[in-house]
Structure 1
Amino acid sequence: MPGWPTVDRADDQELVEALRHADADAPAKLYDSYGERLHDYACTLIEEREVAGDAVHDALVTAQGCVDRLKEPVRLRAWLYALTRFQARSRLSHRSGTPVEGMPLPDPGEHDDPELADLVYETLGELSRNEREVLVLSLRHGLTPAETGAVLGLTSRQVTSRLGRARDHLENAAAAVVLARTGRAHCPDLSAMVDSWEGPLTPLLRRRLSGHIGGCEVCTEGRDRQISALRLLDMVPVAFAPLSLRRRVVDTCVNPERDQTRTLITDRGDNFDRTGFPVAAGGRSRRRGTRRLAPVVLAGACLLAATGAVVAINGRDASSGSALPSKPSPAFSVAESPSPEPVLEEDEEEPSFSPSPTPSATRPARRTPSGRPVATRPRS
């Protein structure tokens, strides 16, 4: 992508080593390598340039102060994008109302084909947030599927799938405009849809043409030959950072008088996983809440199990003819039991009870010493 310097993996290794050794020139080198890239990416997340610049500033200050958290120096590029995304999303989450996301609309005079440029912006706005980020990170910024997945918290397979959907959506939309002008002679169906149409395509007609192009071999071939998602993204101007941002980043990183500011920034962003990548605060709090709840659930399960076991033993004693009290034991009376529903369910499911309707039907008859049977009252 033109507009920012090319940085290879060997340069990333050198940058990490310079940061870890507290090289005085390391913050400036880091900004010169990635500052413009990160600012352009931040502007795809936050429309206001000033807020996007603040996110990049805090991300680079955090990178300088927390570089030891990064376990693999070769992943520096993805790590910096992840830090920038963390800072941008944090600012959006603290806003009241609907957060403002996405890239601002271009000036129609900036492009030779204003209709196609407007279409690119409109189509990017139709994508889901993750699909748009996958497209921008993979094509505009050149990250690999593994790097893009590390930034967004996705697997490489998920990145590949979403990239394919986003690319097809963008290219089909652009092909609708381009082939409506140039491809009528190659596809009779396309020609029939647009022959009577003049001027810019309406959104409804564009969607119809996009659907046709996606299922037509002739139009798909024309799309692949004339349309490229990478070239379409080049129509979005690079969001260059103001010159003051570089001075702010370097000053915060190296000026002893900014120690307190530097500490506040790094502490606010000090939330990393075991590989050193930032983790949203909500994810950690939910895990802690689950750990706190687990002992309570376990204690409740043990209480229910113990209660069920005692009831089962009493039931087996009753079926085997052992003497039982005429009234429920106070310790396990239904009125005093802390959880009567589980106890009743255990009684109903206990297989050792006799299927006879009353206990007296199965209890042996009592006899006097002379051998005569004695009438007994049924147990209440």
Structure 2
Amino acid sequence: MNASGDTREETFRGLYAAHFDCVLGYALRRTSRAEDAADVTAETFLVAWRRLQHVPVGDAARPWLYAVARRQLANQRRGELRRRRLGERLRHDLAVVVPDVSDQVVQDHTVDAAMARLSARDEEVLQLHLWEGLEPREIGEVLGLSGTVVRPRLSRARARLRELLGNDPPAAGHIQDKHPTPSREEER
């Protein structure tokens, strides 16, 4: 390094050693988290390094550093405000797109518990119908059966589930506006 580079580094080291504690204390008294104060202090000394030729000499350096730290705090607060507003906007947007499903979760848990008490065959045909929204013909394709075999199997499985729940199972879970095919008993 040349002499001017050594002098610049020595000047900065002296400034840092003389004022680091004061700048950190200033930032700590104005932030709620120590890591935020550390960031403000680091940014302040980064500005001091970049603008070293503008830093006043002697006792006048501390107020200059405080002014830089004050601007860094303002930048940090603006950034936090932007992030908070963005988070609120995203939460609002998600609430519109993804509705509150807490009641559905309780209902699903009840249905899951009832379905676990069914035979594996009944459970599978009901899952394909209620959760995946498949019709008997489509369930038949998945299971390798004809639709005529699936229809009565589905009807019996629904009747068993209805007995366990005390009501009809909810509509298909992933397809909106699509309701389970009513059994012959329900059509009467």
Q: What range is the shorter-chain TM-score in?
A: 0.3 to 0.5
TM-score under structure 2 normalisation?
Answer: 0.37
TM-score under structure 1 normalisation?
Answer: 0.19
User: Which structure has more helix as a fraction of its residues?
Assistant: 2
Higher normalized contact order (CA 8 Å, seq sep 6+, divided by chain length): 1
